[in-house]
Amino acid sequence: SLIAMFFVFLLTFDKMRSIVADAAITNTEQVVGQTTTTLDNYVDNMLSISSGISTNIFRYTPDEMQAYLNTSQMLSPDIVSITLFDELGEVYKYSPQSIDIKQNITLGSQQWYDETEAETAEDIRFSTPHVQNLFQNYYPWVITNYYSTAVKWDNKIKYTVAIDMSFATIDEYCRNINIGQRGYVFVMGPDGRIIYHPQQQMLNAGMRAEEDWGFIKDKENGAYFYNEDIVMVISTLKNNWKLIGISYMQETRETMNEIIRYMAFAYVAVFFLILLFAAAIARYVSKPVNRIIKAMEIAQDNQFTTYVWEDGFVEVRRLSASYNNMTSRIRELMEQIRREQRELRKTEIRALQAQINPHFLYNTLDSILWMCEKGDNKGAVTMVSSLGKLFRISLSKGREMITVREEVAHAENYLQIQGVRYKDQFSYKIEAEERLLDYKTPKIVLQPFLENAIYHAFGHSS
C-alpha cells in the first residue's frame, strides 16, 4: 500500500505540474488577448480621429482652419496637439494656441519623422512613443500620427498633418496589466522597435539593460519559451503591432515547489504512521485512503467540488484535511481568477461605452451649423434637443444598467439626428413589447447596430 501511495503521489504531482503549467500559458494568453482587443479599439479610435481631421482639414479656408483645429483638439481628450506643416516643413497652423510654440521648428528636425516612409506610405503612420518638443515648457509623452498629402491649397501643393496623441491611455492600461506577480506586457512594432514597455523611460536612460527580443519580430501568434519563461505573442489587427506578454516560470516553479513540500510532508507523515501501525490498521485505513484517491482522480479533471471527511485514525484525518485544504485553496484561486476576469470584462465594456464616434459628433455639429446658416431654426432645435437627450441617456448619472425604455429612447434620438442629417432618406419604426420596457439592460447596446445599418446603407455619403 505504501508503494501504491507513492506512485499515486508521483502521478498526482505530475498531473498537477502539467495543470499548473497549462494554466499559466492559458492565463497569459487570455490576458494578452483581452489586452490586444482593448488596444485594437483604442488604435481604431485614434485612426478614426486622425482620418477625420486629415480628410476635413482642407475643406476650410485658412481663417476657418484654425478654428477647426482648435475645436478638434478640444473635443478629443486624447489629442495633445495638431500641427500642420507646409511643403517647406515649416509650421503652418497648430493647436492649442494657448501654449507658445518654439521658434524655428521644422518637420525634418523631428526625430519621429521619416521622410522616406511618409512619402511612400498610403495611410497614417505611427511613431514610437517620444517626448514632444514643439512647445515651450511643455513636454508630454506622446505618439505622433502623421500623414503627408499632395493637395493644392492656399498656393501650396504639399502638407503634412501631425497629430500628437497622449501616450498616457496606453501606458495606464498596460501598466495595470499583471501576469502573475512580476509578469508584464509590452508592445513591439512591425519593424522590431519597442512601441511600449512598462519601463520605457528606464530603458531610454540606460538604467535597465534592454533584453534581446529580436527573435519575436518574425514570430507568428502563439506561446514561446525564452530563458524558460513564457512569451505570448499576439498581433493587433489595426497596425501590425505585436503585443507580447511575459510570464516568469520561476513563479510557477515556486508554486510547484510549495505543492511538492506540502504533499511530501503529508506523504511522509502518513508513511511513518502507517509503517508503525501497519499490522493493526492496514484494513481499517485502506478504505478511507481509497476514497481520498478517488477524490484526487476527480480533482484531476478540474472538478474541485469533492471533499473527503474521514474520522478514523489521526493519519487518515490529517490526509483528508490536507486534501480538503488544498481543494479549498484551489477553488479560492479559481474563484479569484473568475472575479478578475469579470472585472476585466466590465472594464472593457466601460472603455467601449466611453468611446464617442468622432464622425457622428463632428457631422452632427456640422449639420447644426449648416441649418443655422440656412435659417432652418426648427431643424437646428430638433437636432440640438435630440443630441442633448442622446448624451443625457448616455451619461445616465454614471449607471451601467438602464431600462429598455431609456435604451429605446436613446436609439430614437440617434435615429432622429441621422434622419435630419440624411434628409429623411430612410424611415424607421420602433416596436417593443410594453411588458419588457422596464427590464434592465446595459446601456448603448442598440446604437452600434443602428450605426452599422446606416453605414452599410449610405457608406461615407453625407
**Structural domains in the chain plus CATH codes:** 60-166 (3.30.450.20), 258-352 (no CATH), 356-458 (no CATH)
Nearest to 422 by CA among 414, 432, 433: 414
Q: Flag whether pLDDT at 9 surpasses 70.
A: no
Return the pLDDT at 373: 86
Q: Flag whether pLDDT at 165 surpasses 70.
A: yes
Give pTM, 2 decimals.
0.45
Which tens digits make up the pLDDT trace of 100-145? 888 888 888 887 777 555 554 456 777 777 888 888 888 888 888 8
- φ/ψ bin of 422: left (φ > 0), alpha (ψ from -120 to 50), beta (otherwise): alpha
Return the pLDDT at 445: 82
Return the pLDDT at 64: 84
Which tens digits make up the pLDDT trace of 298-333? 766 666 666 666 666 666 777 777 777 887 888 788
User: Measured in whole angstroms, how far is the alpha carbon of residue 52 from the centre of its chain?
Assistant: 23
Helix (H, G, I), strand (E, B) or coil at 380: helix
Which tens digits make up the pLDDT trace of 47-71? 788 888 877 877 888 778 888 888 8
Q: For residue 416, what pLDDT band results from cuts at 50, 70 and 90?
A: confident
Helix (H, G, I), strand (E, B) or coil at 174: helix
Return the pLDDT at 439: 92
**Cell numbers at 34, concatenated:** 483581452
Q: Is the dihedral of CA 74, 78, 84, 90 positive or negative?
A: positive
Which tens digits make up the pLDDT trace of 224-260? 777 767 777 777 656 677 778 888 777 777 777 777 7
Helix (H, G, I), strand (E, B) or coil at 31: helix
Of 345 and 88, the structure prediction assigns the larger pLDDT to 88
Give mean pLDDT, residues 382-386.
85
Which tens digits make up the pLDDT trace of 347-382? 665 555 555 466 677 778 888 888 888 888 888 888
- Distance of alpha carbon 93 from alpha carbon 161, whole angstroms: 10
> Cell 469579470 sits at which residue?
342
Nearest to 183 by CA among 235, 228, 243, 245: 245
Return the pLDDT at 121: 46
Q: For residue 208, what pLDDT band results from cuts at 50, 70 and 90?
A: low
- Distance of alpha carbon 269 from alpha carbon 312, whole angstroms: 16
The chain-wide mean pLDDT, for the chain, equals: 76
